[in-house]
Structure 1
Amino acid sequence: MSVRFNLVLSDDLNREIDKVAAESETNKSEILRKALQLYLVAREGKREQLKLGLVDPQTGQLKTEIVGL
């Protein structure tokens, strides 16, 4: 079963999503599905007192911690 809903985005965010969709040869729906999945993973990690961040694959060094999710 699937659910359809309407979403209001700012013009700036809509342009960014359009740009990413074109670059990755996908569509906005798929990008938003992936974004929601990432949010849910981050939320579950937070419950387990884990942190979300971007790590340099060569050094394993944390480059950016993502906060506020």
Structure 2
Amino acid sequence: MSSTKEMVHLNLDLSPELYEKLEESAKKIGGNKSDVLRQAIALMQVAIVAKEQGEKFGIAEPEQTLSTEITIP
């Protein structure tokens, strides 16, 4: 019996520009494209939960001022 987790495989159509960003992101985090997509989904979930709770999600300056708010439709 294998201890490998069951995985779902996904086909994904991306523009060449978005694919290049995906590859660049993978290099910058020292992972692969799947790692980037998994982390992006995790960040999206954080943003969704924040919205549901009436909170903001974004990028803060060192003094905690929200400089960029990421909004979810």
Q: TM-score range by the shorter chain?
A: 0.7 to 0.9
TM-score, L = length of structure 1: 0.86
- 1:63 equivalent to 2:67? Answer yes
Amino acid of the structure 1 residue aligned with 2:17: D
- Could you say which structure has the larger radius of gyration? 2
Could you list the runs of 5+ residues in structure 2 that have no partner in the other structure?
1-5
TM-score, L = length of structure 2: 0.82
- Deviation per residue, 1:7-47 (Å, 9 max, x gap): 11111110011111112211000000000011111111111
Query: Do 2:59 and 2:69's aligned partners in 1 also have CA atoms closer than 8 Å?
Result: yes
User: Distance between the aligned counterparts of 1:44 and 1:38, measured in 2?
Assistant: 10
Could you list the runs of 5+ residues in structure 1 that have no partner in the other structure?
none
Deviation at 1:61, TM superposition (A): 1.2
